[in-house]
């Protein structure tokens, strides 16, 4: 998997990054509703990281992405609610 930094913005206390993750689905993925076996498909998933900085170090890191975008690219849309 490759992660490309699209842009960053931040301050002394907070930092965020917009990223693009690209890779080949070559292993089983586990989701709360089940597993998706390797498909061999290439995926391009946008995501965001948000970090809280304390004493110049990352004290807390959160990441956000849309699993529906990811699953659609794999041909494995989630089940209807």
Grade residue 79 by pLDDT with cuts at 50, 70 and 90. Answer: low
Is the model more confident about 5 or about 76? 5
What tens digit of pLDDT does each residue of 33-59 get?
A: 889 999 999 999 999 999 999 999 999
Determine if residue 47 is left, alpha or beta; phi over 0 gives left, psi from -120 to 50 gives alpha, anything else beta: beta
CATH architecture group of domain 2-74: Roll (3.10)
pLDDT at 76 over 70: yes
Which CB contacts under 8 angstroms, 24+ apart, belong to 20-23? Answer: 20/44, 20/45, 20/46, 20/47, 21/45, 21/46, 21/47, 21/65
Percent of the chain with pLDDT over 70: 95
Give the mean pLDDT of the chain.
91
């Amino acid at each position: 998997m490759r992660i490309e930094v699209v842009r960053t913005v931040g301050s002394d206390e907070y930092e965020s990054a917009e990223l693009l993750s690209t890779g080949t689905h070559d292993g089983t993925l586990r989701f709360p509703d089940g597993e998706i076996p390797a498909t061999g498909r290439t995926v391009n998933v946008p995501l965001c990281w948000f970090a809280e900085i304390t004493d110049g170090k990352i004290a807390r890191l959160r990441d956000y992405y849309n699993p529906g975008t990811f699953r659609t690219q794999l041909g494995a849309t989630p089940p209807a609610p």
